[in-house]
A and B are shown apart, each in its own frame.
Chain A
Amino acid sequence: MSLSLKEVLDVAALARIGIGEAEARAVQAELNKIFELIGRMQKVDTEGVEPMTHAQGLALRLRSDAVTESDQRELFQSIAPQTEAGLYLVPRVIE
């Protein structure tokens, strides 16, 4: 299989990574080499094999629905790019 230039641009849009057409062409060639490597999987018969999602096969633990963290807004916002009145600022989304 190989990715078209349009597919590379579409995937970059989904991943929210700005990419120009020239870079997309370079990336396209690299990705196609990588997908050639990945493609080796397809030759293997995996009919009836149970997918393995996790090394230990354990069910995830549940915790009680209780407050365990203290309010650290000031600390966390001290490293934010832009804040105002305790809020994270980003460009206006809704006019």
Chain B
Amino acid sequence: MLNASLKELSASLAAKKASSVELTRLFLGRIAKLNGVLNAFITVDEEKSLAQARAADELIAKGAAQPLTGIPVAHKDIFVARDWLTTCGSKILSNFVGPYDAHLVGRFNEAGAVLIGKTNMDEFAMGSSSESSFYGPVKNPWNADCVPGGSSGGSAAAIAARMAPAATGTDTGGSIRQPAALSGVSGLKPTYGLVSRYGMIAFASSLDQAGPFAKSAEDLALLLNVMAGFDPRDSTSIEREREDYARDLDRPLAGLRVGVPNEHFGEGLAADVGAAVEAALGKLEKLGAKRVPIELPNSSLSVAAYYVIAPAEASSNLSRFDGARYGYRAKNYSDLADMYRKTRAEGFGAEVRRRILIGTYVLSHGYYDAYYLKAQKIRRLIANDFADAFKRCDLVIGPTSPTVAFKIGAKTSDPVQMYLNDIYTIPANLAGLPAASIPCGFGAGGLPVGLHLVGNYFSEAKILNVAHRYQRETDWHLRQPTGLAS
């Protein structure tokens, strides 16, 4: 059961081989056993999960089950869930119990899924290692001395360690794909606007996008079917017809044009990662794909532009955390201004404070043109690069991350080194394109390598098709960390 696909789990439930209560207990037991080591979950609430499981079993008994009814799903602790502690990995929300459900949480509830727990993450999703959480770092299931990637590291680790069969995350600069790569699981960032941001605690609103984590591309398709959809409560939610993201999974790859960007195979790419990605490209060619060299000449500027745009938007979004209406408030203060200053100094961790300061600076009087406007122009150049590339290819494929998982603590003292982890993932966020990471081998220390697949707008079904065909021919995505309790 721990290794079963969502389809298999659903079939077991339908055939009454297992109940949702049994399935939920199985994964809760797994969490109880492993969370002490991995720290992948911030909140687990057996009673709430089991109540949902019992309700799901009733639906199944009545013959009213949908594809995910009774299936446990872990949500990143960035999604507000009614009556669940929702911390966003921060001290400033350490006492925040959700008064409502995020759109995504509501969608899973309506589908009859079981919320199995809230996963650990970098504070306010600002990080690439899940070390900046107020609740302590998440450990990589493949090697507990290493990071799982971030910011959605708890969700990635939960899938890798089989603590949940499915999970959600958010991706502003790579926060689904990079942890998926470093933890050896599959993850998808949809086209910007496909999944509602309502109830998803905002980091950088023009980039933030929610998406699924699972063991396989097929599972991702089933999860995206539940998550995607128009929501009038999100002003950038896209109105378009519903589609079945699993419809093209088995389509043959003959004639597929795979764009390979020179810029993502140069300096900075570790040899072990490069070798695994090359082998994966060779596999795709064997499956009928054609390799097309492409150029993304401005992609080297993406990290610079991102570290203007994301902090600028964050400094505005995070101004709401002031200790007045909810969350942590400093104990001692002299007046209102002092209450704000102390609450925010004590409530935010170092990386969040740093990004608020960058954002405040670049938006301050006299600097707007030199930073924010300049970054938005670079953003256009990066989006144009992709538009040109997609005239010649169907997908852009390369490495997700320049290296395999690094040691906990290795990059915490140097923010710039940490930021460069996302050099291959950030361009898709700036352009708003859908992109996935799937396991494609192992590098140094037996740690997983991720293959990055970027598609044109709304090409999720195509990305999942290519990922699924690859996964039919390979077993990297079925490999499990050894050394964990089985």
Q: Does B378 contact A (CB under 8 A)?
A: yes
Query: How many residues does chain A have at the interface if contact means C-beta atoms less than 8 Å apart?
Result: 51
Taking CB atoms, residues of chain A closer than 8 Å to B99 are: 72, 75-76, 78-79
Taking CB atoms, residues of chain B closer than 8 Å to A7 are: 361
Within 8 A of B (CB), among A6-49: 7-8, 11-12, 14-19, 27, 30-31, 33-42, 44, 46, 49
Q: Which of B56-64, B131-139, B334-342 contacts A (4 or more CB under 8 A)?
A: B334-342
Q: Does B480 contact A (CB under 8 A)?
A: no
The reply to whether A16 and B323 form a contact with Cβ atoms under 8 Å apart is no
The reply to whether A17 and B353 form a contact with Cβ atoms under 8 Å apart is yes
The reply to whether B303 and A44 form a contact with Cβ atoms under 8 Å apart is no
Return the contact of B340 from the options A16, A30, A88 (Cβ within 8 A).
A16
Taking CB atoms, residues of chain B closer than 8 Å to A82 are: 329
Taking CB atoms, residues of chain A closer than 8 Å to B317 are: none
The reply to whether A63 and B193 form a contact with Cβ atoms under 8 Å apart is no
The reply to whether B235 and A61 form a contact with Cβ atoms under 8 Å apart is yes
Query: Number of contacts between A and B (CB, 8 Å)?
Result: 164
Taking CB atoms, residues of chain A closer than 8 Å to B353 are: 17, 19, 27
The reply to whether B301 and A44 form a contact with Cβ atoms under 8 Å apart is yes
Chain B interface SS verdict (over half): helix
Q: Does A86 contact B (CB under 8 A)?
A: no
Query: How many residues does chain B have at the interface if contact means C-beta atoms less than 8 Å apart?
Result: 72
Chain A interface SS verdict (over half): loop
Q: Which of B44-52, B220-228, B379-387, B396-404 contacts A (4 or more CB under 8 A)?
A: B379-387
Q: Does A3 contact B (CB under 8 A)?
A: yes
Taking CB atoms, residues of chain B closer than 8 Å to A85 are: none
Taking CB atoms, residues of chain A closer than 8 Å to B340 are: 16
Taking CB atoms, residues of chain B closer than 8 Å to A81 are: 323-329
The reply to whether A17 and B354 form a contact with Cβ atoms under 8 Å apart is no
Q: Closest Cβ of chain A: how far from B413's Cβ, in Å? A: 9
Find the residue from B301, B304, B333, B364 having the highest chain A CB count within 10 A. B304
Complex formed: what's the CA distance from A44 to B232 in Å?
38
For the complex with contacts A15-B315, A34-B415, 17 further pairs of A-B residues with Cβ separation under 8 Å are A8-B357, A14-B360, A15-B357, A16-B341, A17-B341, A18-B341, A27-B354, A33-B416, A36-B416, A37-B303, A46-B374, A52-B379, A53-B206, A55-B431, A55-B433, A56-B238, A63-B232
**Which B residues have a C-beta under 8 Å from some C-beta of A?**
95-97, 99, 191-193, 206, 232, 235-236, 238, 298, 300-301, 303-305, 307-308, 315, 319, 322-329, 333-342, 344-345, 348, 353-354, 356-358, 360-361, 364, 370-371, 373-381, 383, 414-416, 419, 430-433, 457
The 6 closest A-B pairs by CB, nearest first: A55-B432, A51-B376, A18-B341, A18-B345, A46-B377, A55-B192
